[in-house]
Amino acid sequence: MNNETTLEKRIYDFEQEYCKFMEIDSFPEYRIEKIHRDSQKTIVKAQAYYDFDGMEQVLIIPDNIELSRSTMFHEFTHILDDEYYEGKNRRSNFLLHGYSEYHAAQIQLLDLVGANSINLDSFHFSMNNKCADFNTVTDYIKDRKSLFIEYINKMSVPTNMETARTIIGMLFNYLGFVSICKSYSIDYIDINEDELFSRFNDDITLDLKKLMNSAWLDYNMTKVLDTFETYRKIISPLIRDKDKELLARRGIFLF
């Protein structure tokens, strides 16, 4: 079996495992696009997005980096969120980014800490469990937080749209990780978040704390729409004017 066939079969196997985990009967169609990544320089190893020109879901997969099940669960969640929450509409797709990073991080961490499905009625875990390449779950989420703070400290404002989206995506990832720990860990201890929230006004901080403190995983359009406005308020001041003009031509207004 050649490498191309092996890679695609592995992705298909992960997809089947994801459907079982999420308790769904089928998964949306998507096109696999293989690329070569520098494993030492990239943060994003795989990426799912909706291609508006081709009107299809695309899953970018490196052909030279071994991908974990949890990473693929993260990317599959983005595809599923696009289906559930009108991600094929340009405006919804842009504003959905925050929630989808939050949700994808939740599913990713649940897989990492040993959950067998999205049915979590009797599921619990310890923050002392090993997590990915880290000795404990605590170490893992602290690393995610440090990564966000490192990148946002380096970011000049205003910046280009993709940089802002990547960095704010890290923030929503972190909120998703913590929400799972707060809801399902038997020994979670609150982390001081003053440095994290000091960048935002009181209204935004309240919205972010709500996401962090409650790991709702069910389909809820009302709550997702609330995250649209939070995301808009966070990202709008970060994006340079020429990118805002480009978004406006696509019907996405950030003011």
For the stretch 64-81, pLDDT in tens is 878 899 999 999 999 999
Cα 42 to the center of its chain, rounded Å? 16
Give the percent of the chain with pLDDT over 90.
81
Residue 6 pLDDT grade (very low, low, confident, very high; cuts 50, 70, 90): confident
- The pLDDT of 19-28, averaged and rounded, is 97
Q: Tell me, what amino acid is at 95?
A: L
Is residue 95 pLDDT above 70, yes or no?
yes
Q: Any residues with CB less than 8 A from the CB of 27 and at least 6 apart, and which?
A: 15, 18, 19, 76, 79, 80
Whether 136 and 128 have beta carbons less than 8 Å apart is answered as: yes
Residue 40 pLDDT grade (very low, low, confident, very high; cuts 50, 70, 90): low
Is residue 43 pLDDT above 90, yes or no?
no
CA gap 230, 203 in Å, rounded: 9
Q: What is the pLDDT of residues 178-222, one digit of tens each?
A: 999 999 999 999 988 999 998 899 999 999 999 999 898 888 899
pTM for this predicted structure? 0.94
Give the percent of the chain with pLDDT over 70.
95
Which of 100, 101, 78, 76 is CA-nearest to residue 18?
76
Whether 95 and 232 have beta carbons less than 8 Å apart is answered as: yes
Whether 115 and 73 have beta carbons less than 8 Å apart is answered as: no
Q: What is the pLDDT of residues 128-138, one digit of tens each?
A: 999 999 999 99
Q: What is the pLDDT of residues 115-171, one digit of tens each?
A: 999 999 999 999 999 999 999 999 999 999 999 999 999 999 999 999 999 999 999
- The pLDDT of 222-232, averaged and rounded, is 94
Given this model, what pLDDT does residue 71 score?
A: 95
Q: What mean pLDDT is reported for the chain? A: 92
Given this model, what pLDDT does residue 1 score?
A: 41
